[in-house]
A = this chain, B = another copy of it.
């Protein structure tokens, strides 16, 4: 990657799904830029998908169209395969690894705890590889992952399932296809039990680009942040059956393109005040 002296972990590009692949491709173009541009070496991880070949070929075409010379699809269909020399070689030299959509449980189930997992984490922390992911590839980024749940529901007990994610970004729970699929209810239901985490809903064709404890937003939608840190009432511990969550005093931030957020201090950053460029 460019930059005289990279510092800290490399950026994460976390996309809410359905990003533009035929037009200006602003979101994917930003991933490419951060991952080294035309000279970057990209790997497309299709592990989340049951249609790995098709989806891999699609992203290879898109990244090539965006000027990248070296793009390799990486198919992993078993934990054994995740440890194969071919896979490790591609990921060991990649400057950008992109996780496609599919089912986030396939990512944790096939990659969690493998040498790939360790390799990617170490290289990301050493600022050697930018990780990107869309849809399922976004959901898995956080420590606690939203596995699934109901859409267009008000927050109730039982409307959302969470589990351990791949832990590339701590302190948040991420949901994707956020507005389009009406997922505020399930994200709030998940968050009500863990108000020390931030709830982050990413719209389609929109990404949060995380670097240095902040993120900024790029794309045609918005990133919604729920902060329950100062909530005055939250009855989640008393809920029984399908009773309805009560929640008072939550904070809500809606951050479109250009806006940012300080993850440590839980403060939005106006569009003018971009975090330092990686």
Contacts and interface: CB of A to CB of B under 8 A. Distances in A.
Interface of A: 152-155, 179-182, 184-185, 188, 203, 220-222, 224, 226, 232-233, 243-257, 259, 268, 270-271
B203 A154 contact: yes
Contacts of A252: 226, 247, 249-252
Nearest to A238: B271
Contact of A154 (B222, B226, B250): B222
A256 B256 CA distance: 30
B222 A244 contact: yes
Contact of A153 (B179, B251, B268): B179
Nearest to A224: B154
Nearest to A182: B182
Nearest to A259: B246
A15 to B, nearest CB: 15
Contacts of A232: 268
A221 B246 CA distance: 11
Contact of A247 (B203, B250, B254): B254
Nearest 3 A-B pairs (CB), nearest first? Answer: A244-B256, A248-B268, A182-B182
A157 B57 CA distance: 37
Contacts of A226: 252
Contacts of A233: 268, 270
A234 to B, nearest CB: 10
Contacts of A179: 152-154, 182, 185
A254 B154 contact: yes
A179 B247 CA distance: 15
A182 B188 CA distance: 15
Given A179-B185, A203-B154, A253 B247 contact: yes
A250 B249 contact: no
A180 B182 CA distance: 8
A181 to B, nearest CB: 8
A255 B246 contact: yes
Given A179-B152, A251-B252, A252-B226, A244 B221 contact: yes
